[in-house]
Amino acid sequence: MSLPLRRRTAMLMLLAMMPAAAVAADLLPPDRPIAEVVDHYVDAKLREAGVAAAPQADDATLGRRLTLDLAGRIPTAAEARQFVAATDPAKRQQLIDRLIASPWFDRHLATELNALLRGHDGSGPDLRKYVLAAVREKRPWNRMFRELLGDGSDPLGPEQFILKRLADVERLARDTSAMFFGVNISCCQCHTHPYVDTLTQDSFHGMKAFFSRSYDFQGKLLETRFGPLTMEYQNREGKKGQAGMIFLSGEAVAMPDPGVPDLAKAMQEEKKEIESFKKDFGKSKAYPPAATFSPRGQLLAIAEKPENQTLMARSLVNQTWYRLFGHGLVMRIDQMQASNPGSHPELLEWLARDLIAHDWDLRRLIGGLVASQAYGRSSTWTGQPPAPELFAVAVLRPLTPMQFGLSVNLAGDRQLDTLADAALDQKIDALEAGARGFESLLERPRSEGFEISIQEPLAISNDPKWMSQIGAALVPGLLKLADLPQQIDAATWAILGRPPTPAETEMLGAFVTGNSALSTEEIARLEQVIAERKQQAAQAAARVAAIDATVTSAGSPSLIVPATSPGWKYIAASGLTGDAWLKPEFDDAAWKSAKAPVGRGSPLLADKKGDTLDIEKGDVALRLAFEIDGTQWFNAARMILQVASSESATVSLNGKTLDDDKKGHPAEYWNRTVDVPCDMLVPGRNTVAVRLKNAAGDAFFDMQLAILDEQQARERARQSATATAALPTVPKANEVRGQAIASMVWALTAGSEFRFNH
């Protein structure tokens, strides 16, 4: 009896998705070690092509490569020296085992899987918190697939993979197909795949149908009870078609009978019902009724079938191989169909089978791949290199932004070699936080044809923030070493994980020596610059004072709280709790009126000679309410606050701190000018509140607040920046040498050897 037509069609499509050579291949036995299987198939291909492979990489290169691939960073100098010096024949496997067992491995694998799930453009949702928890728990990839597609079993929200793509269901269908099954169906949106006849528009819209009822309700992934039975589409010729739920293998699932006489009406009513639930959710916290049929659940059920799990396993193996070798067993990694069988189909099939048989254990897969001779080959080749799919020579792989950032930040950090796992995990967390900034500067690269953009070193070298990170942990230690050769040796080990060559020692030594002292001419130029800057600062300070005098004079219309303003009230500060007293609406009967003026003397703050406040001994709080009209508020560009006090004081405006001086001033007035953001003002009633230290019993306090118009604000800000900018100095001899050492470190870090995994 023949198979039903639909089932036969699905089987034919599944076969078309898999390389023919691997379907009936007599694979190596499943009990062989992964590394042995890799070398068996790769070496066989090399013999067939008549190509002799490159020798194994030297120990320094291999140690650095393994650490970058398994820990996501360069080795410390101590790690690199130890690995190179070790004579144990098993030292490579020992390093692999140690790195895979470390917290670094989990974090690096989570970073890489998160990057995979965010898509090639990195615009997908950041799921790293979830992925890291899953990796640490050693969750199988097929279980993560279920969680990412919204089975609701994980509280960390992996269904954001779906939710953040629901606005573009076409993209959701494409990403799901490519990321999990290695099949790019983008072109099938409009026509049959140009290389795979069985991938048609039905394939694209059939995958899209699995998400046709998914929707976002208050951040929760739900599915509607009613939805279209098929997805309608139109090809380039304008011909219309319809597709139900169809998996990539061709297996189809029919939507069940909705059980309503008018499906369109039921869909419309459910839409209104959902909107009503959204409107009332703030009070009721109630969700719409759950659907009894889940198209997304059907996708999960189909994907879990053995034949389809093989598709998922092959894709994960290929993506992992691509990451570790710089070239996939199938290229491109999202074109895994019969017409593109890849370079080693039997190897791919064996690895996929092994991955499934060992519960999708990525640690086992990765550990086996990096233990192979194929992985350990040198990247050096004389003459025209062989085709990359032969894996005869290692591919240069650019570091990811996270690898680069971590490596820059930890180079020279000696703590890493001594921290226990708990403290080390905290240290890694801090290093990763510092490394994330490089994601905006560096491209997350593809290996093939990658070249370092000139924008990278320019962006880093022109930004003091990034330059301060490079060598921050290394340069201080280098300066403590006795002589220049030691400094060069230590820097090269810390940055490149190897000893310097004689040529490098000579070149770097000449550079540092030639830049470790200033010439007489350079000192003279610096002294001239310093003198000019002092003159500019004095002129700018005078200009700022002139602006302040203009806007704070007693008759100035911009003065909104003049010195010696009446209306101040006070209360013992010890009687206040919380911060409600700072706010304009606080009006406690316990406040007493302070004798006006508060402090007596000139209305100009600069001339104030302080009589004491009419208050009792002890710390006090003061407040003053004032009104500003809408015109003042609208035209305000910037405010300045001038304060005088004999003791330390904290000043707040409308509940927000303006100025906080924590130092006592028992014998001197506290005279300060503070810039105040205008958005702290409001039209109408405003309140200034002060906590004043009054330990001696004879303190005084006064202040004035003035508005600067836009032109004044710009001018004052510009002059103030000049007046307060740090003056250059003639550096001391040890500072000059330190700068030369730092420049040497930057040169080593900026070079292509550091930027690539060799």
pLDDT at 75 over 90: yes
Which amino acid, residue 728?
A: P
Q: Looking at the structure, do residues 492 and 594 belong to the same domain, yes or no?
A: no
CA-wise closest residue to 226 among 277, 262, 252, 280: 262
Q: Please, which residues bridge with residue 704 across strands?
A: 642
**Three-state DSSP state, 284:** helix
Cβ-proximal residues to 123 (8 Å cutoff; 6+ apart), any chain: none
Mean per-residue pLDDT, 266-276: 92
Q: What is the pLDDT of residue 62?
A: 97
pLDDT at 38 over 90: yes
pLDDT at 9 over 50: no
Query: pLDDT category, 83, cuts 50, 70, 90?
Result: very high
Q: Looking at the structure, do residues 486 and 627 belong to the same domain, yes or no?
A: no
Which amino acid, residue 697?
A: G
User: Residue 346 to residues 38, 318, 364: CA-CA distances in angstroms?
Assistant: 10, 13, 19
How many Å apart are CA 651 and CA 690, to the nearest integer? Answer: 5
pLDDT at 391 over 90: yes
Q: What is the pLDDT of residue 7?
A: 42
Q: What is the pLDDT of residue 81?
A: 96
CA-wise closest residue to 650 among 663, 642, 660, 639: 660
Rounded to 5°, angle at Cα 116 from 177 and 38:
90
Determine how many CB atoms are found less than 10 A away from the CB of residue 28. Answer: 15
Query: Are 469 and 457 spatial neighbours (Cβ–Cβ below 8 Å)?
Result: no
Which tens digit of pLDDT belongs to each residue from 168-211? 888 888 888 889 988 877 665 554 555 555 566 777 778 888 88
How many Å apart are CA 692 and CA 556, to the nearest integer? Answer: 28
Which tens digit of pLDDT belongs to each residue from 547-588? 877 777 767 777 877 777 778 888 877 767 777 777 767 777
Q: Looking at the structure, do residues 112 and 134 belong to the same domain, yes or no?
A: yes
Which tens digit of pLDDT belongs to each residue from 647-687? 677 888 888 888 877 655 544 556 677 778 878 888 888 88
Q: Where are the beta strands (DSSP E) in 224-342?
A: 231-234, 240-243, 245-246, 252-253
User: Residue 298 to residues 200, 222, 253: CA-CA distances in angstroms?
Assistant: 20, 15, 8
Query: Are 446 and 397 spatial neighbours (Cβ–Cβ below 8 Å)?
Result: no
Q: What is the pLDDT of residue 189?
A: 54
Q: Looking at the structure, do residues 680 and 741 belong to the same domain, yes or no?
A: no
For 299, counting Cβ atoms within 10 Å of its Cβ (0-12 exposed, 13-18 middle, 19+ buried), the class is buried
Q: What is the pLDDT of residue 3?
A: 34
Mean per-residue pLDDT, 622-642: 79
Q: What is the pLDDT of residue 10?
A: 44
How many Å apart are CA 260 and CA 270, to the nearest integer? Answer: 12
Asked whether residue 42 is assigned to any structural domain, the reply reads: no
Query: pLDDT category, 25, cuts 50, 70, 90?
Result: low
Which tens digit of pLDDT belongs to each residue from 488-518? 999 999 999 999 999 999 999 999 998 888 8
Residues in the chain: 758
Asked whether residue 60 is assigned to any structural domain, the reply reads: no
- What is the reported pTM? 0.74
Q: Looking at the structure, do residues 430 and 283 belong to the same domain, yes or no?
A: no
The distance from CA 189 to its chain's CA centroid, rounded to whole angstroms, is: 33
Mean per-residue pLDDT, 154-175: 90
Rounded to the nearest 10°, the torsion over CA 610, 614, 616, 622 is: -80
pLDDT higher at 629 or 344: 344
Q: Looking at the structure, do residues 509 and 561 belong to the same domain, yes or no?
A: no
Query: Are 640 and 717 spatial neighbours (Cβ–Cβ below 8 Å)?
Result: no
Q: Give the residue numbers spanning the domain of 275.
A: 105-304
Asked whether residue 35 is assigned to any structural domain, the reply reads: no
Q: What is the pLDDT of residue 345?
A: 95
Q: Looking at the structure, do residues 752 and 710 belong to the same domain, yes or no?
A: no
The most distant pair of C-alpha atoms in the chain lies apart, rounded to whole Å, by 111
Q: Looking at the structure, do residues 272 and 300 belong to the same domain, yes or no?
A: yes
How many domains is the chain partitioned into structurally? 3
Which tens digit of pLDDT belongs to each residue from 596-616? 545 544 555 455 554 555 556
How many Å apart are CA 190 and CA 175, to the nearest integer? Answer: 17
Mean per-residue pLDDT, 226-232: 85
Cβ-proximal residues to 420 (8 Å cutoff; 6+ apart), any chain: none
Asked whether residue 525 is assigned to any structural domain, the reply reads: no
Asked whether residue 74 is assigned to any structural domain, the reply reads: no
Q: What is the pLDDT of residue 128?
A: 93
Q: Looking at the structure, do residues 622 and 507 belong to the same domain, yes or no?
A: no
* CATH number for position 405: 1.10.3130
CA-wise closest residue to 312 among 178, 193, 200: 178
pLDDT at 1 over 50: no
Query: Are 21 and 346 spatial neighbours (Cβ–Cβ below 8 Å)?
Result: yes
Q: What is the pLDDT of residue 758?
A: 87
Q: Looking at the structure, do residues 744 and 720 belong to the same domain, yes or no?
A: no
Q: Edge-to-edge, what's the strand order for the sheet holding 649-653?
A: 592-593, 569-572, 620-628, 684-692, 649-653, 656-660
Q: What is the pLDDT of residue 4?
A: 43
Asked whether residue 343 is assigned to any structural domain, the reply reads: no
Query: pLDDT category, 50, cuts 50, 70, 90?
Result: very high
Q: Please, which residues bridge with residue 183 across strands?
A: 335
To the nearest 5 percent, what fractions of the chain are helix, strand and coil? 50, 10, 40
Instruction: Fill in the DSSP letter of residue 155.
Output: T
Mean per-residue pLDDT, 701-709: 78
Phi first, then psi, for residue 225 (nearest 5°) are -80, -25
Q: What is the pLDDT of residue 145?
A: 94
Domain end among 304, 336, 360: 304
Asked whether residue 690 is assigned to any structural domain, the reply reads: yes
The pLDDT > 70 percentage for the chain reads 86
CA-wise closest residue to 490 among 503, 470, 510, 476: 476
Which amino acid, residue 652?
A: S
For 457-520, the DSSP string reads HHHHHT-HHHHHHTTTTTHHHHHTSSSHHHHHHHHHHHHHSSPPPHHHHHHHHHHHHHTSS--H
How many Å apart are CA 1 and CA 7, to the nearest integer? Answer: 13
Whole-number mean pLDDT of the chain?
A: 83
Asked whether residue 124 is assigned to any structural domain, the reply reads: yes
User: Residue 155 to residues 34, 150, 221: CA-CA distances in angstroms?
Assistant: 35, 11, 12
Mean per-residue pLDDT, 357-366: 96
Q: Looking at the structure, do residues 695 and 589 belong to the same domain, yes or no?
A: yes
Q: What is the pLDDT of residue 690?
A: 84
Phi first, then psi, for residue 522 (nearest 5°) are -65, -40
**Three-state DSSP state, 311:** helix
CA-wise closest residue to 344 among 330, 355, 356, 354: 330
How many Å apart are CA 497 and CA 68, to the nearest integer? Answer: 11
3-state SS record for 365-419: HHHHHHCCCCCCECCCCCCCCCCHHHCCCCCCEECCHHHHHHHHHHCCCCHHHCC
Q: What is the pLDDT of residue 71?
A: 96
Continuous H helices in 575-690: 630-635
Name the range with the highest mean pLDDT among 37-51, 293-307, 452-466, 523-537: 37-51
Mean per-residue pLDDT, 352-364: 96
The distance from CA 46 to its chain's CA centroid, rounded to whole angstroms, is: 41
pLDDT higher at 42 or 706: 42
How many Å apart are CA 394 and CA 375, to the nearest integer? Answer: 7
Q: Looking at the structure, do residues 504 and 558 belong to the same domain, yes or no?
A: no
* CATH number for position 677: 2.60.120.260
How many Å apart are CA 12 and CA 6, to the nearest integer? Answer: 10
Dihedral over Cα of 605, 608, 612, 617: its sign: positive
pLDDT at 239 over 80: no
309 Rama class: left (phi>0) / alpha (psi -120 to 50) / beta = alpha
